[in-house]
Amino acid sequence: LLKEIISAPFYLFSKKWWRLFVLKDLFFAKACYLQADKKLAKSYLFHNSFIYRPIWSYVANKKGSEIIFYFYSINNETFLRKDGYSTSPNYVWQNMNWPKYLFWNEYSKNYYTQFCRKPFISEISGPINLNHIRLDKNLLFREPSISIFDVMPIRVSSYRSLASPFEYYIPEVAISFLRDILLVCEENDIKLLLKNKYSYNRNKPIYHHPKYINFLLKLSQHNNVIVIKPNTSPVDLIKATKLSIVMPFTSTAFISKSLKKPVCYYDSLGIISKEDLSANDVDIIIGYDELKDWVLSKINL
């Protein structure tokens, strides 16, 4: 490390200038190279927040460690709009060059591997759940009950920085999603259990959109609404409720399906096409009337 730091000024004016950008990675790669093989892990697992593979993983792989890349969600695909327009996929995925992948299902495998340029092996793992906190046993809710999973809109400035070609996760869509579900639940004496995707600052939202947070605070005051802690296991919540309604295209829908629980994606404003393959064979319900019919047909099964 000292050698690299001393050499840094010379790299700036040579063909090795790139070493300045990967100094940290080079240090860990060298540390991995010097480490005794028996002290390295048998396997190293990275989830899909690490698109770019660290340099040390190449060294560990050559020394016998298995390098695995797994997906903790399957909602990274693009939307197919009702008008037939589909946004281009995010080609950041073409930078993946991991030797082994774990995919939730065949559709996910086919989608992501179209970007992979390097040889790889893969396995179908089924859903992978990062939230492990058990559902609070002190929560008392009567049947019937529905588990709800949202996608929380963020502030406009942050959302624009993502340069999304199709703005779906905005307050108007998210609020309409919850408002329609609440109305169905209140009309039919159904308990609504909402698990937000992330925790948030109730008094002064920093990252999430204040309009949506204000709506959530009002929603939590309804008698038939129970707000579940975001780090609660979705598996526990899905098992404890009769059915699930999910905002497109959150991965919890596929978890519900794997648990053989009734589930649908609800698009309150009719923006998404029912033919969108990103639904992974989960029903796409559009509009309040369809939602009410679907809930009443499934809640008494």
8 A C-beta contact, residue 129 and residue 73: no
Condensed to tens digits (0 to 9), the pLDDT of residues 28-46 reads 999 999 999 999 999 999 9
Of the listed ranges 34-48, 67-81, 223-237, the one predicted with least confidence: 67-81
* 118, pLDDT greater than 90: no
Of the listed ranges 101-105, 119-123, 166-170, 174-178, the one predicted with least confidence: 166-170
Condensed to tens digits (0 to 9), the pLDDT of residues 158-194 reads 877 777 767 889 999 999 999 999 999 999 999 999 9
225 phi and psi angles, rounded to 5 deg: -110, 130
* 87, pLDDT greater than 70: no
User: For residue 70, what pLDDT band results from cuts at 50, 70 and 90?
Assistant: very high
Q: What is the mean pLDDT of residues 93-99?
A: 87
- List the beta strands (DSSP E) in the chain: 43-47, 66-70, 100-103, 121-124, 145-149, 191-195, 225-228, 243-246, 263-267, 283-286
Q: Can you state the percent helix, strand and coil of the chain, rounding each to 5? A: 35, 20, 45
Sign (positive/negative) of CA torsion 151, 102, 276, 164? positive
Q: Which pLDDT belongs to residue 227? A: 94
Q: Which pLDDT belongs to residue 301? A: 61
Q: What is the mean pLDDT of residues 46-70?
A: 92
* 23, pLDDT greater than 70: yes
190 to 66, 186, 211, 223: CA distances (angstroms): 48, 6, 26, 11
Tell how strand 66-70 and strand 100-103 pair up. Answer: parallel
User: For residue 197, what pLDDT band results from cuts at 50, 70 and 90?
Assistant: confident
Condensed to tens digits (0 to 9), the pLDDT of residues 240-285 reads 999 999 999 989 999 999 999 999 999 999 999 898 888 888 999 9
Q: What is the mean pLDDT of residues 38-57?
A: 92
Q: Which pLDDT belongs to residue 85? A: 66
As a whole-number percent, the residues of the chain with pLDDT over 70 amount to: 95
Q: How far apart are the first and last CA of the chain?
A: 64
Tell how strand 66-70 and strand 145-149 pair up. Answer: unpaired
| Residue 25: how many other CB atoms lie within 10 Å | 16
Cα–Cα nearest to 151, from 197, 89, 103: 197
By three-state DSSP, how is residue 160 classified? helix
Average pLDDT, the chain: 89
Q: What angle do CA 114, 77, 121 make, to 5 degrees?
A: 35
pTM, rounded to two decimals: 0.83
User: For residue 88, what pLDDT band results from cuts at 50, 70 and 90?
Assistant: low
154 to 201, 208, 209, 252: CA distances (angstroms): 12, 4, 5, 20
Q: Which pLDDT belongs to residue 89? A: 65
Tokens of 185: 């639940």
